[in-house]
Structure 1
Amino acid sequence: MNIQLQRLSQINCHDIIALNTHPLVLAHMPLGDNQFDETFCKEWVKQKEQHWQTHGFGVWALTFDGVFGGWGGFQDENGDADLALVLHPDYWGYGKNIAKKIVEQAAAQLSLTSITIHLPLSRKKLGAIRRYGFIEEGEVDFDGVAFKRFRLKLSSLMKKKPC
């Protein structure tokens, strides 16, 4: 399968809406809701594009053999580059490889010392995150919803690579 990274502005708003309001996707996004309409989508995409200009990093649209299947990358969260990955259920099996590629790209191309990931407390399967080197830092609150924050020091990632 050919996986491409594109800008969100290249994706039809209706496809983004379908993803961000999909019931199975929303089950993993406690801050999401099904009120993500076309007006909101256009503003959301505009904000994601502005994020690239402000921070030098952001999120990409992910296409699978030319079909939009999700979005992922980094978002500024109180000064940290926070990894976000949202995939349509048809592509959930690709999440691990996509996340690995995004993290490795951050280590190689961005001037970051660490990245974070925030997971809802309902997320119980954390083994892969810990094996990759993320260390739990504690709980944080976003809009009244509790999340666990994990941090990966990119220097530790570089040490894992073979010579």
Structure 2
Amino acid sequence: MRPLNTTRLIGTPAVATDVADLRRLHSDPRVMATLSADGATFTEDQSRAFLDRAAGHWQLYGFGLWIFRDRASNDFVGYGGIKHAEVEGRDEIELAYAITSDHWRKGLATEISLAALKHAFDVLRLDRIVAFTLPHNRASRAVMEHCGFTYTRDITHANLPHVLYILNALDFTQKTF
């Protein structure tokens, strides 16, 4: 389990001891409006379960979600990375990210995403990555599009309408950022 660092951030694999930081993210109604299936904030038990799944993913697959902190201040910024997800009954590798609302509009979700995608394609040699969000989540869609993802179709995920984006390795490696 290796760290993932960017120009402004330090990422470490998500583990159970990250619960206090994750609680800040999961208890913010602005963040959870697009992150949780029902738009509700998570309980402490839900945050712990999320981290347990994230740590388990690292153990099973050798990749997953990183917890990101600001290099200068060590302030918790959010999480991001790649993980297995079921999409329309198929196992896919998904790009996932969430940023605390006090760090929005600074380009950090894109920075995290690009680092995770570079790791996925250059190190893990994956062929494609999917990403999806609620149709009205314009900020997340902008991150996906900036990273080179292409809108593919509308889907249903967690019993809600979502938009599905796909990025192939070849398309990513040919893009200049």
Residues in 2 aligned to 1:143 and 1:41: alpha-carbon distance in whole angstroms: 18
What's the counterpart of residue 145 of structure 1?
160
Matches of 1:41 and 1:128, distance apart in 2: 24
Is 1:158 matched with 2:165?
no
Normalised by the size of structure 2, how large is the TM-score?
0.80
Mapped to 2, the partners of 1:128 and 1:113 lie a distance apart of: 20
Alpha-carbon RMSD across the aligned residues, in angstroms, is: 2.2
For 1:74, the equivalent position in structure 2 comes to 82
Q: How many residues align?
A: 161
CA distance in 2: counterparts of 1:16 and 1:128, whole angstroms: 21
Letter in structure 1 aligned against 2:170 = S
Aligned pair 1:95/2:142, yes or no?
no
Any unmatched runs of 5+ in structure 2?
A: 1-6
Per-residue CA deviations over 1:34-70 (Å, capped at 9, x if unaligned) read 2x22333222211111111222321011111312221
- Other-structure match for 1:85: 97
Greater Cα shift, 24-33 or 151-160: 24-33
Stretch moving more, 132-141 or 144-153? 132-141
TM-fit CA distance, 1:30: 4.3
Distance 1:16 1:124, change over 3 A: closer
Give every structure 1 segment of 4 or more consecutive aligned residues whose post-TM-superposition deviation is greater than 6 Å: none
Please tell me the residue identity of whatever aligns with 1:117: A
- Which residue identity is paired with 2:101? P
Query: What is the correspondence of 1:1-163 to structure 2 with a 5 Å cutoff?
Result: 2-9=8-15, 11-31=17-37, 32-34=39-41, 36-64=42-70, 65-78=73-86, 79-92=91-104, 93=106, 94-124=108-138, 126=141, 129-160=144-175
Contact 2:11 2:69 (8 Å CA) reproduced: yes
Asked if 2 retains the 8 angstrom alpha-carbon contact of 1:119 and 1:147, the reply is yes
Q: Is the 8 A contact 1:51 1:58 kept in 2?
A: yes
1:129, distance to aligned residue in structure 2 (A): 3.2
Q: CA deviation at 1:161?
A: 5.1
- For the 8 Å contact 2:109–2:143, the answer to whether it is kept is no
Say whether the 8 Å CA contact 1:74–1:84 is kept in structure 2.
Answer: yes
CA contact (8 A) 1:73 1:85 kept: yes
- Normalising by the residue count of structure 1, what TM-score does the alignment of the two structures yield? 0.86
Task: Quote the offset at 1:111 in angstroms.
Answer: 2.7
Aligned residues: percent identity? 20
